[in-house]
Amino acid sequence: WLAFTSKKLYTNAFIVSPGPPRKILLGYKKRGFGANLYNGFGGKVEDGETPAQAALRELKEECGIEAPLNHCGTLLFVSKGGPEWAFQIEIYRADAYSGTLIETDEMRPEWFSAVDTQSQEVAEKPNTTLAPIPYDSMWLDDVHWMPLLLSNRHFVGRADFDTDASGKYKMLKWWFGI
Ligand code: 6OG
């Protein structure tokens, strides 16, 4: 595992609406770190703020809504040859929200299908119009812990990354547990 000397605290929040059809809200990040990828809504925890407060503030700033967020997991990301610090990301989820979703300078909100493909719901109503979760356009670690978030398990995880010559991220190692 890569070494690091300090951590920076971030948040990431997801709305998982029970439906039917069951769906998850992601944001297409338009600029900054992780641009052109889908992710939850979140950012840096500011001085004097708890992670829970930051999660609510970022959700409102990035897509205009409020939600009864629950803490759902903690992730640690370390990059080779990158800064000597790691990202610690506190993950939150809610199954409802209030307010009106808006597109902001930073994020374009979009719903995706969160239906378990083995479920009764799919057998009864196969033609959901929602696209599946776009793992090909998400951070490489997401495919590993997203099922834990969707099944409402509390998880911890770590992923170590390297970048190739073109600056593309490669996941060297990951570990997730519940
Ligand atoms: P702002 O630049 O918007 O905060 N983030 C990651 N999310 C995932 N799923 N995987 C990663 O693997 C990530 N690295 C950072 C944390 C950046 C947002 O991006 C998240 C924040 O929500 C490397 O302030």
Please give the ipTM for the structure prediction. Answer: 0.93
Looking only at the bridges linking them, the beta strands covering 85-94 and 6-17 are parallel
Q: Is 92 in the pocket of ligand 1 (CB under 6 A)?
A: no
- In the reported structure, the alpha carbon of residue 97 is separated from the centroid of ligand 1 by a whole-number distance in angstroms of 22
Q: What is the pLDDT of residues 44-88, one digit of tens each?
A: 999 999 999 999 999 999 999 999 999 999 999 998 876 677 999
Burial 90-114, CB ≥16 within 10 A → b, else e:
bbbbbeebeeeeeeeebbbbbbebb
Q: What is the pLDDT of residues 115-152, one digit of tens each?
A: 876 666 666 766 668 999 999 999 999 999 999 999 99
Predicted structure pTM score: 0.94
